[in-house]
Chains A and B, each alone.
Chain A
């Protein structure tokens, strides 16, 4: 049993955003969060709006301020490094955002967008062009896509381009912030399969942020559930998404409607019973 060293290790992370106005208390988006990602692993981060799941992803990317705690990548502290050091990390940590419409600059061709991270690393123009071809092929887009503008592509195709951009520097970790939420059902399934195939082919690790328990279950080896800036449950993906322990995860699981009228009627009844039981438990906890 060779438990791999974690690639990413977040310990007691606190992120606070200042609120405008003199003497106001800052807003605490993350309240001491700990999570780790191993090489080649997909860790799903699930939660509802305002749970802090996106903030955690942004903190790992250096796009959110680390107030307390540590973010370690390959054993090295990256939570408080300078902008210059952060730029060097681009070879290791990459990102795929939620909105495929605003994550690509509308006035740059696909080739210009994909070559941008390569050019920063002083890859020659000819090599960059070759690499762009390979990347487009890897995400299942035709080679002639390189000379076109983002507006010529559908949402699913744009998300493939964003994935290609993330893969350009062969990173060890990709933070995926709700990458399939804006996509149609059938497109979503295909893009998720692409994520899976790429992981199996390249061994890249994912920190996969989503609000959808089913999406996270499909792709993640381990799952963390966030609620009000804290991780309330963290463990094996199958277990957390099918037989959760924490009351919030239970509520989350029971809230998603099933695509079957009879089973949904059953789930509805189960949910009502569960909510009643949780309410009683809360009352007793309050009385005790």
Chain B
């Protein structure tokens, strides 16, 4: 229920994600540069015969190591061959070789990754084993050994290298497919009668497409580097010009004609840089689409806190207790990249008295959790209190530094979250997670803190406090975890507990127990509670007063009994109408054919 996510549901224009990404790549300067260089290299390879009139293999031994001239654009090499012609044709062979390696690696890796990820079972075990085996092989040594057997062929070497690199694609694809295999839309397609190949093609391949392209760019880069390396140590194919071969040749004549080294070295560097930048730019663009840009401008946007006043029910208590928390005109907003402010709370005013339970009820996106988090000083990144005041026990909380807030958080205002499991660290025992904050905030010794933690665990109704103290979070149930967090919340004797949907993630029978526990503790300790919830049953069970929130505003507030007896605002009334609990049952389809069986007794 992250409210920042559904603050505004923008209706984006209907553009496919793919064309969108391609366009963004062209707008990204690095991406554009990489694409231009790669395109030029490919054009050079494709139209090699048109770019030079010289034969790359024609050796003119009377004219070796010539300097650049009109006839030989970049001069000639140690055998009198035209360097420009060799460079152009070497681009063709080197790129084709790298492409062969990448293509083979991708075909083998992606196919087996899809099958292993989608079907799993024995195929996955075998491929995982093979993958580890191949990855353990030292690539260069295998290539040198292969050269001894099959001879110095570029294609052979690159084909073998492709197979060696297949695990990179396999791992990537298999992990991505495992991630989506159990997505509900894949199940839905299966139930819809779609055949497995179509499911893989339509629903699964789309997920791995972009990462595979990135991986392909990196693999191409590695293949080019390995090729150059093999060529440089004289292991290249002597029958065709390659970048590595040219490098090797130039290296032997470094003192006579140093210029010869420049050409192959530059083109290898250029190609490597281009592929690396392409991969980087694509990854950047993919990540950017996942999260919105951070705000650039620091100008304060206009705050709008106006709206119809809330329906206020008269107080029923004869002598109202003292105020503990007073929120006035609170506006919470998220800064947008264009400098504007998206408001999620639009001028909320509410009061919590000492020792009372105040229910804050609303639907998702109403701003109830944002209100609670701003009181705790724990707004998510990008969010801030844009206007209004939060006075806690006479102390203004807005504008306090993180350090100052820390003196209040946990000690005077504590928090019970919605998801008990994700709020406990799985790598520490429950005991240590209770003891640490107490030592920190109360300044007591470890021994004292432990005794106190055991007391608290017993107090929240855990049957075996010693055992729970020693347990790790995964060893207890969701209900028990919530009891532990409640123990943590009361451990430093706070004045106010903010409980954010404390029972929503729990089963209904567990919820009833936790509600009983909260009520008992609240009465015993006299602590005030701000209870955020969407459930009117929970409000009826616990709360003294209620505020109903809609679209970042409080529309109705007052004593719980008074609101339940006669909701005045149209929105509150619509919420009450939507409650099913007291509604009529559907009834039976045809009375004659039904009978009431108690299956528990039958078995």
Contact = CB atoms under 8 A, between A and B. Distances in A.
B540 A3 contact: no
Interface in A65-110: 83, 87-91, 93-95, 97-99, 102-105, 107-109
Interface stretch (A21-29, A135-143, A260-268): A260-268
A218 B580 contact: yes
B299 interface: no
Contacts of A168: 192
B6 A154 contact: yes
Chain B interface residue count: which class? 35 or more
A185 interface: yes
Interface of B: 6, 9-12, 14, 17, 183-185, 187-196, 198, 202-203, 206, 363-364, 478, 507-509, 511-512, 515-516, 534-541, 560-561, 564, 574-583, 585-590, 592-600, 603
Contacts of A123: none
Given A48-B509, A239-B596, A257-B541, A105 B579 contact: no
A107 B19 CA distance: 12
A148 B14 CA distance: 6
Interface string A173-193: 000000000001111110010
B191 A264 contact: no
B537 to A, nearest CB: 3
5 contacts: A217-B585, A218-B586, A235-B594, A235-B595, A264-B540
A1 B185 CA distance: 42
A170 interface: no
A104 B185 contact: yes
Contact of B194 (A49, A61, A120): A120
A211 B507 contact: yes
Dominant SS among interface residues on chain A: mixed
Nearest to A99: B184
Contact of A256 (B537, B560, B593): B537
B356 to A, nearest CB: 14
Contact of B203 (A105, A147, A215, A245): A105
Contacts of A42: 586
A185 B575 contact: yes
Contact of A147 (B14, B193, B537, B598): B14
Given A233-B599, A256-B581, A257-B535, A40 B589 contact: yes
Contacts of A255: 508-509, 511-512
A32 to B, nearest CB: 7
A271 interface: yes
A233 B600 contact: yes
Given A186-B574, A188-B578, 16 more contacts: A3-B590, A38-B589, A87-B193, A103-B187, A103-B188, A116-B194, A151-B12, A189-B580, A222-B594, A232-B600, A236-B594, A237-B587, A240-B596, A246-B600, A255-B512, A271-B512
B61 to A, nearest CB: 61
A222 B588 contact: yes
Contacts of A109: 14
Contact of B580 (A63, A87, A214, A254): A214
Given A154-B6, A257-B512, A105 B585 contact: no
Interface of A: 1-4, 32, 34, 38, 40-42, 48-49, 61-63, 83, 87-91, 93-95, 97-99, 102-105, 107-109, 113, 116-117, 120-121, 147-149, 151-155, 162, 165, 168-169, 184-189, 192, 196, 211-215, 217-222, 224, 230-242, 245-246, 251-252, 254-264, 268, 271
Nearest to A112: B202
A234 B597 contact: yes
Contacts of B536: 259
A233 to B, nearest CB: 6
Given A152-B9, A222-B594, A95 B589 contact: no
A185 B597 CA distance: 32
B193 to A, nearest CB: 3
Contact of A233 (B586, B589, B598): B598
Contact of B585 (A165, A212, A238): A238
Contact of A242 (B193, B194, B585): B585
B541 to A, nearest CB: 4
B184 A3 contact: no
B384 to A, nearest CB: 26
Nearest to A121: B193
B575 A186 contact: yes
A231 B190 contact: no
Contacts of B534: 184-185
Contact of A97 (B184, B587, B599): B184
A95 B580 contact: no
Contacts of A151: 12
A94 to B, nearest CB: 6
A143 to B, nearest CB: 14
B456 to A, nearest CB: 23
Nearest to B192: A117
Given A105-B185, A211-B508, A230 B597 contact: no
A251 B538 CA distance: 17
Of B192, B193, B363, the most chain A CB neighbours within 10 A belong to B192
- Top 9 nearest A-B pairs by Cβ distance? A257-B537, A90-B193, A259-B536, A235-B596, A238-B585, A117-B192, A255-B512, A3-B593, A103-B184
A229 B580 CA distance: 27
B502 to A, nearest CB: 13
Contacts of B590: 1-4
Contacts of B11: 148, 152
A213 B592 CA distance: 24
A49 B508 CA distance: 10
Contact of B589 (A41, A230, A232, A251): A41
A195 B86 CA distance: 72
A39 to B, nearest CB: 9
B468 to A, nearest CB: 20
A61 B191 contact: yes
A95 B193 contact: no
Contacts of A49: 478, 507
Given A95-B191, A217-B586, A260-B540, A102 B184 contact: yes
B9 to A, nearest CB: 6
B188 A97 contact: yes
B29 to A, nearest CB: 27
Contacts of B512: 254-257, 271
Contact of B515 (A165, A235, A257, A261): A257
Contacts of B184: 97-99, 102-103
A109 to B, nearest CB: 7
Given A218-B583, A235-B597, A256 B578 contact: no
A165 B192 contact: yes
Contacts of A116: 189, 192, 194, 202
